[in-house]
Chains A and B, each alone.
Chain A
Amino acid sequence: MAATGTMRRSFGSLAFSISKRAFSTSPSPVDANGLKSMNLFSAINHALQIALESDPRAYVFGEDVSFGGVFRCTTGLADRFGKGRVFNTPLCEQGIVGFGIGLAAMGNRAIAEIQFADYIYPAFDQIVNEAAKFRYRSGNQFNCGGLTIRAPYGAVGHGGHYHSQSPESFFCHVPGIKVVIPRSPKQAKGLLLSCIRDPNPIVFFEPKWLYRLAVEEVPEHDYMLPLSEAEVIRQGTDITLVGWGAQLAVMEQACIDAEKEGISCELIDLRTLLPWDKETVEASVRKTGRLLVSHEAPVTGGFGAEISASMVERCFLRLEAPVARVCGLDTPFPLVFEPFYMPTKNKILDAIKSTVNY
């Protein structure tokens, strides 16, 4: 998926850079701190390598995984770890996840790839009725905690209905699984390793928009980032913004613009959507008194609704204004109309202002 055409977003001071590796000066930039300049798919690749290295009973599988994957996340893995551990599956998502559950039930780390989140639905039964309930229904005699399902999600500029979806909210409604979404290469590597090693089945959505474009200094060693802990990535006092994945970069731009107009924004990356860190968001909303949630997925029934309802429950009297949601339209994801569908920086900026001026 080449990110050609109009770059509708510009990325500012968010920790990574979306340009052609602007600050790498040497061919293999590894600095003395053990950091390496990597984009998102390389960071994912790194995490998978470490996972396969550190556990001989880890497996990576899915459609086209063997040659490196359509997004190159699995490059080199089959050569290095062998076709028994890194392998293609037939084209069948329900089979991929069902097979993965069985592998995980035997104590393996089963890292399944779904080629696009748009195609995850055939596996929905296996995820909801089986993976999510495997431990509970067996009275903890069995579990498939070793299962991690990775899928690229989100807008990519030209993906249309079936290469752009953000289906996270369907999964956030399923007790028993976790849902994790990284915002950058460094986050992705650490979160993915945590997901792989977490003893619960997890769906890990990777923002495909950032696969090549996001470049960051990523530690080369084995490190993990905590699940169910949101991160405040920008401090502020007037309004709390909550988001995840690629949308954070857009939100950050809005925060920068708002600051020029004297509005101080606090920006939170949820990172784990299920189970989500209500405490961090609540503490921030108590500080600012205002909340705005933004996601690409359609607004109705999107995960923003859960965040809004929870914060209204907890912080009603503190709130100065209704919770704002700046999200995708309630339509299938359109192609030529993508710029109209998306929750843009200016839509967010307008919502920030009207919330602050309520």
Chain B
Amino acid sequence: MALPLGKSKRILQCLKSKICVVGLGKNSFWSGWFHHGCPSSMAPLAPTCRNPDAVLVNAATQFATRRFESTKAEKHVDSLCDAEGNQLLDFPGGKVAFTSEMRFIPESPMERAHCYRVLDDNGQPNMSNFVQVSKEVAVKMYATMLTLQVMDTIFYEAQRQGRISFYVTSIGEEAINVASAAALSIDDVIFPQYREPGVLLWRGFTLQEFANQCFGNKADYGKGRQMPIHYGSNKHNYVTVSSTVATQIPQAVGAAYSLKMDGKDACTVTYFGDGGSSTGDFHAALNFAAVMEAPVIFICRNNGWAISTPVSDQFRSDGVVVRGRGYGVRSIRVDGNDALAMYTAVHAARKMAITEHRPILIEALTYRAGHHSTSDDSSKYRPVSEIELWRMARDPVSRLRRWIESNDWWSGEAESELRSNVRKEVLDAIQVAERVEKPPIAEIFTDVYDAPPSNLCEQEKLLRETIRRYPQDYPPDVPAL
């Protein structure tokens, strides 16, 4: 369907069709991976899309900075369509230009949204306009990522040995965890899913504190009530994990609204996976965030898998980043295994969120190199060779190490020293946590409400009597005091 080029250009712009994003023209690093998960039915667009990509993107960037106060769509249309004196249709929600050409917006873009990346596979920066982190920050990021990796390995083993009941690793996602945390301030409130212990680690949660929660002992801040890895720490501004997927996302929006109304120099940050982006709560949250103009950063860890469900069974959009526009939310796709790209993107997102009172969506592409949890064996649904490839050749920790080594900020000695120190510390923490007794049974009944109501007092009394009569029914490491 050929159209006069000038008019089609304007109509294309006016309809805000999400056709093209600026392309550097070459295949991205990720293209091979995407073929694995994606359907082959991504049909190219009709030839009328001749509009140079760069024009649309630059226009988008320009008007994005102009749209400081409002997210109403019609401002864009007014400024681009008035000149010719074309009639605009006035409907609730704003003016739209009309077209006599019936044209469906394609279900998929001609080219997938590009993925922002700084470090190449060898840890070398490919462009210079990223946030230059100091040696201190870079080394701390690396050390934290490595600590996370070692901690995960050992805790996983502890579960296999029956010492803890359950564990979830973050193997392959260390850069998302740590680099995002590094770009935030301690005042930014975190609403995690359950694969973000690296954020807590960055903020200073100790290995002992992690171990205590996994063992549910009396030093666990959660008082032994939840399964392992359901960490939470108010002093670190990290809201307690719950197993339910994506429920935290709209909560992060409400909390962000609070920060805005209180005039705080802070935002909220919430994490979820590709699976989480399919939920109703995701939809609710992004829509609310845009309407309420809430300073919240949505970080989607698109790691390709929701337990055994590959992304091709999860959605048919171009991943998660394209959904942002559907809600009026500014978005970016980032290489989640690139610590510097993550850092830079989150740093920028935070600034926009707080100063512009807007939500930002970051889709961090990565790979879940470990199993979903200790209850999962992912070799049952994906090739071991694929897992190995990501674990070895595309490890985000190694990539960052190459960068800091190339700056002479790190060495082989520092590496072995850190590894053995962390290993020892984790093992010690586990040994200590294992021996600490569990919280007393009184903690069954506290915190249901701010104060226990009479029915709970009654039940506690009855329970204590039962325990006295049948101590053998009850675990000996839970004090019945």
Contacts and interface: CB of A to CB of B under 8 A. Distances in A.
Interface string A19-51: 000000000000000000000000000000000
A199 interface: yes
Interface in A51-106: 57, 59, 84-85, 87, 89-90, 92, 94-95, 98-106
Interface in B271-304: 280-281, 283-285, 287-288, 291-292
A173 to B, nearest CB: 13
B254 interface: yes
B252 interface: yes
Nearest to A88: B291
Interface string A133-164: 11111111111010000000000000000000
A259 interface: no
Contacts of A125: 244, 247
A94 B223 contact: no
A142 B240 contact: yes
A98 B447 contact: no
A102 B225 contact: no
B257 to A, nearest CB: 6
A102 B261 contact: no
Interface in A278-314: 278-279
A92 B288 contact: yes
Contacts of A87: 292
Contact of B280 (A89, A94, A104, A275): A94
B108 interface: no
B455 A278 contact: yes
Given A95-B285, A98-B281, A103-B257, A278 B454 contact: yes
B242 A130 contact: yes
A125 B285 CA distance: 15
A139 B225 contact: yes
Contact of B225 (A90, A137, A275): A137
A108 B258 contact: yes
Contacts of B240: 134, 137-139, 141-142
B449 A176 contact: yes
Nearest to B259: A106
A90 B327 CA distance: 12
A102 B258 contact: yes
Given A90-B288, A142-B239, A102 B250 contact: yes
A110 interface: yes
A77 B363 CA distance: 39
A14 B225 CA distance: 46
A178 to B, nearest CB: 8
B265 to A, nearest CB: 15
Contacts of B450: 135, 143, 145, 199-200
Given A125-B247, A129-B244, A200-B450, A141 B233 contact: yes
B251 interface: yes
Contact of A102 (B226, B242, B252, B291): B252
Contacts of B222: 137-139, 141
Given A129-B244, A137-B242, A175-B448, A98 B253 contact: yes
B447 A136 contact: yes
Interface string B105-148: 00000000000000000000000000000000000000000000
A135 B447 contact: yes
Contacts of B268: 102
Among A59, A106, A279, the one with the most B-chain Cβ atoms within 10 Å of its Cβ is: A106
Interface in B202-257: 220-223, 225-226, 230, 232-234, 239-240, 242, 244, 247, 249-257
Nearest to A102: B254
B294 to A, nearest CB: 9
Given A98-B281, A102-B251, A145-B450, A138 B232 contact: yes
B448 A176 contact: yes
Nearest to B244: A129
B446 interface: yes
Given A125-B247, A141-B221, A228 B453 contact: yes
A122 interface: yes
Contacts of B448: 135-136, 175-176
A126 interface: yes
Contacts of B250: 94-95, 98-99, 101-102, 126
Interface of A: 57, 59, 84-85, 87, 89-90, 92, 94-95, 98-108, 110, 122, 125-126, 129-130, 133-143, 145, 175-176, 178, 199-200, 228, 275, 278-279
Interface of B: 189, 191, 220-223, 225-226, 230, 232-234, 239-240, 242, 244, 247, 249-259, 261-262, 268, 280-281, 283-285, 287-288, 291-292, 446-450, 453-455
Given A175-B448, A275-B449, 18 more contacts: A85-B261, A95-B281, A99-B254, A99-B284, A102-B258, A106-B189, A106-B262, A122-B280, A125-B244, A129-B242, A129-B244, A130-B247, A136-B447, A137-B225, A137-B242, A138-B240, A139-B240, A141-B233
23 contacts: A59-B261, A84-B261, A94-B281, A95-B253, A98-B285, A99-B251, A99-B254, A103-B258, A104-B254, A105-B239, A106-B254, A106-B258, A122-B280, A126-B250, A135-B450, A136-B448, A139-B220, A139-B225, A140-B446, A141-B222, A141-B233, A176-B449, A279-B454
